[in-house]
Amino acid sequence: MAKRFVRITLATKCRLLFGVAAIVIIGSTLIAPVLYTETLADEAVLLAGREVTRLYFHEWMRAHAERQPAERVSDLFTARVDPAPPLDAPLRRIRLHLLSDPGQLPVEARLAAKAFHRDPAQPMVQLPNFDNDSTRKVFRAIRAVDACLACHERDPQARDLTRGQLVGLIEAELPADASPRNRVIRRGVILIGGFVALLLALMTFYFVIQRLILSPVGQLKAVADRVAEGDLTTRSEVRTGDEFEQLGDSFNEMLHAVQQSQHQLRTANRALDLKLNELTESNVALFEANRLKGEFLANISHELRTPLNSIIGFAELLSESDDARIKRYGGNILTPARMLLRMINDLLDLARVEASNVKLTVTRVSPSDICETLVSLVTPQAEKKNLRLTLEVDGTPPIIRTDAGKVQQILYNLLDNAIKFTPAGGSVTVRATFDADADAIVIDVTDTGPGISEADQPHIFEKFYQADASTTRAHGGVGLGLAIARDLATILGGTLTLRSTPSEGTTFTLTLPPQIPAPEGRRAPEAAGDRLETGG
């Protein structure tokens, strides 16, 4: 954008533009009067010359008709130039038909004779006086008529005249009204009149602009400046009865609307402050309740696990009895007891995760060994349901530094769910690979179960969420396994994602980095040593 070096106010712009426009317009309009007055001056000279030469011609004709003395008449007829005309004006008569050499004539007379020869109907010719700028010369044509021919038959030199022939000129030398001095005076008067008109126009324009435009604009600018300083109570007082007043009224309406908006905004801010205070208090109470809930879950889980472990221990002893009836009773006790123990463990893990009280033991972990150990662990469950359990390891995944126990817990939850929800005759596949592009270990657990609907997939990792209530009744569980698995994956610096197609199966993908990243503001967990954890 071009840099503006000079700021010109609206008043200065209006005055400059109108001044230039007025000068151009008045100057243009004065050209016509100047030219017209000079034309009138030329016409006045021509008219005076016409009258003077006409009077001179009639005076000469009268003297001829009254038979003036022969010597005078002879002088008038024979003199080629009359030095003393009968009128006061400097007049003379030039007899062309008696001249043997037209070059003897003055320049003006020769030009006039040529003009009369070109246009026989032209009676008068006006020419400048080349010897004196203050006078002009007017020529009247004298042409032969019947009376002239009858009279001049006695003159041997004039017997060859023909009717209409140019026989002479009457020259009148008159003051030139268009002389330089008169011309300057005329133009000066016109220029003075134009200057006075321009001055009056500028004064009128100044009053109109100042009163009707600049004054309302100045008032509106003053109001805008006060508003910019924060005074919203100011109002426009422009009362011109035109668009400026309408603009001022619109400005006032805008200020009123801004005031109302600010009042509403202040009211909303006060209400928001109250809500924020209430929300803060609620958050504090919620945090405290969450803390108490975590402590309660941890305590109750611990208190429940102690007697439950005893029950499971005695149930295992009963299930090893040789008495079939006692063995059946022991199995009936052992199965729900183990399910209850798993729920209690899940609640305890949830409490620890929510309380950020998860302790990590970082060791060198072999992903392939962990997968192999877990597959061996759940193989009896898979065989019991007639499922095909497969382990696929792509090459030799590199050793990573992570918490082996947490990785086993995540994978065990995934494998347990896959076996639990896959119908008999299906398959469960564990695949471990290394993604060089992402520099991460990727472990997929794929089943051929019923899959998860698209509506349930966004919520499947939520706490206590179960896709199908009938599943809970058939397989047990409270919907915490996947939520805990995802939280543990996040703690380990990895991710747990889902791909599922209804009626075809589900794939859970666990991605783990080579090393657990340090939480923001804290150091990374230190390794427990260089021992290699292989699971189990």
- Higher confidence at residue 333 or residue 75? 333
pLDDT score for 508: 93
User: Side chain identity at 64, as an amino acid letter?
Assistant: H
Per-residue pLDDT band for 71 (boundaries 50, 70, 90) equals: very low
H or E element at residue 533: strand 527-533
Q: List beta partners, residue 429.
A: 390, 446
Beta strands in 121-233 (DSSP E): 124-128, 135-143, 166-175
**pTM beyond 0.75:** no
Torsion of CA 190, 191, 196, 197, to 10 degrees: 70
Choose the most confident range, by mean pLDDT, from 51-65, 257-271, 474-488.
257-271
pLDDT at residue 509 in the model: 93
Q: Is 287 exposed, middle or buried (0-12, 13-18, 19+ CB in 10 A)?
A: exposed
Which residues touch 40 (CB under 8 Å, ≥6 apart)? Answer: none
Higher model confidence: residue 351 or residue 516? 516
Tell me the residue type at 379. Answer: T
Buried b (16+ CB within 10 A) or exposed e, 298-328: beebeebbeebeebbeebeebbeeeeeeeee
Q: Which of 26-35, 88-97, 119-128 reaches the highest mean pLDDT?
A: 119-128
Least confident of 58-67, 330-339, 402-411, 423-432: 58-67
pLDDT at residue 163 above 80?
no
Residue 72 has a pLDDT of 35
The chain-wide mean pLDDT, for the chain, equals 76
Q: What is the pLDDT of residue 182?
A: 66
Which pLDDT score, from 0 to 100, does residue 391 have?
92
Q: Report the alpha-carbon angle 94-98-104, nearest 5.
A: 65
Closest by alpha carbon to 94, among 51, 142, 165? 142
143 pairs with which residues across the strands? 166
* C-alpha–C-alpha distance, residues 66 and 288, integer Å: 149
pLDDT in tens, 442-461: 999 999 988 888 888 888 88
For residue 530, the model assigns a pLDDT of 47
Q: Would you state the pLDDT for residue 269?
A: 92
Lowest model confidence (mean pLDDT) among 31-45, 77-91, 172-186, 511-525 = 77-91
Residue 437 has pLDDT above 50, yes or no: yes
The H or E element spanning position 444 is: strand 440-447
Show the CA angle centred on residue 221, arms to residues 220 and 222, nearest 5°.
90
Query: What's residue 176's pLDDT?
Result: 65
pLDDT tens per residue across span 461-480: 887 777 665 555 555 556 77
- Condensed to tens digits (0 to 9), the pLDDT of residues 111-139 reads 888 888 888 888 888 777 777 766 778 88
State the pLDDT at residue 495.
Answer: 92
Sheet holding 505-512, edge to edge: 388-393, 427-435, 440-447, 505-512, 495-501
125 vs 366: which has the higher pLDDT = 366
Q: Give which of 463, 338, 464, 486 is closest to 409, Cα–Cα.
A: 486
pLDDT band at 291 (very low <50, low <70, confident <90, very high): confident
Please give the pLDDT value at position 184.
73
Q: What is the pLDDT of residue 197?
A: 81
Beta pairing, strands 388-393 & 427-435: parallel
> Which H or E element spans position 400?
strand 400-403
pLDDT of residue 325: 82
Q: Return the structure tokens found at 451.
A: 């899959």
